[in-house]
Amino acid sequence: MTITIDITRQDYYELNKFHFKQTKLKNTIIIGIVVTTLILFFVNKDGFDITITLLIIIVCSFGIILGINRNLKSTKNLPDEQGSILGERVIQFTDDKISYKMKNAQGINEWDSVKSLKESSTAFYLYLDTAVAIIIPKRYFEDADQIKDFKILVNNNLVHQ
């Protein structure tokens, strides 16, 4: 199976958002709750005040959400336009390997280098390491049958999972 794709900053952002949700969101929420609880404990140690308590909860919640959003949005600007992450590439999937060719790079990944296949609503991610993935946007598949064939091909060739 051969697919020609064009990875955009939005695709890269979606990968980072997906990865964050899969790996860090739970811990971020837990830390936020613990910090908020500690602040509330110290503020209310001499007496409970519902107004201050609600204000602290709202401010801390807003701060956590703003921090997560700002951090994720900043990843959009990380890849260089002339680098090897963004841009058009042709990817060929065979039973032996995954090969790619683009304007400034080409390469091969053996199937045993693919740790897992993850799927979001917009793309497939072939994880090569903990936070490194080949991005395959779903918009480049012709139809649902091609997506199904792709999933079968990848799952049949994954060594780790």
Q: pLDDT tens digit string along 57-70?
A: 999 999 988 988 88
User: What pLDDT does residue 139 have?
Assistant: 95
Residue 131 included in any domain: yes
Residue 130 included in any domain: yes
Structure tokens at 102: 């683009």
Q: Which residue positions in the chain have pLDDT lower than 70? A: 76-77, 80, 82-83, 160-161
Counted domains in the chain: 1
CATH code for position 48? 2.30.29.30
Residue 97 included in any domain: yes
Indicate the pTM of the whole model: 0.79
Structure tokens at 113: 């280098």
In DSSP notation, the chain reads -EEEEEE-HHHHHHHHHHHHHHHTHHHHHHHHHHHHHHHHHHHTTT---HHHHHHHHHHHHHHHHHHHHHHHHHGGG-S-TTSSSSEEEEEEE-SSEEEEEETTEEEEEEGGG--EEEE-SSEEEEESSSS-EEEEEGGGSSSHHHHHHHHHHHHHH-S--
Cβ neighbours around 159 below 10 Å, total: 10
- CB < 8 Å & 24+ apart, contacts of 36-44: 36/60, 36/61
User: What pLDDT does residue 160 have?
Assistant: 56
Amino acid of residue 33: I
User: What pLDDT does residue 80 have?
Assistant: 67
Residue 103 included in any domain: yes
Residue 75 included in any domain: yes
User: What pLDDT does residue 98 have?
Assistant: 94
Residue 161 included in any domain: no
Q: pLDDT tens digit string along 14-37?
A: 998 898 888 888 888 899 999 999
Domain range for 67: 1-156
CA distance 158 to 115: 7
Amino acid of residue 84: S
Residue 122 included in any domain: yes
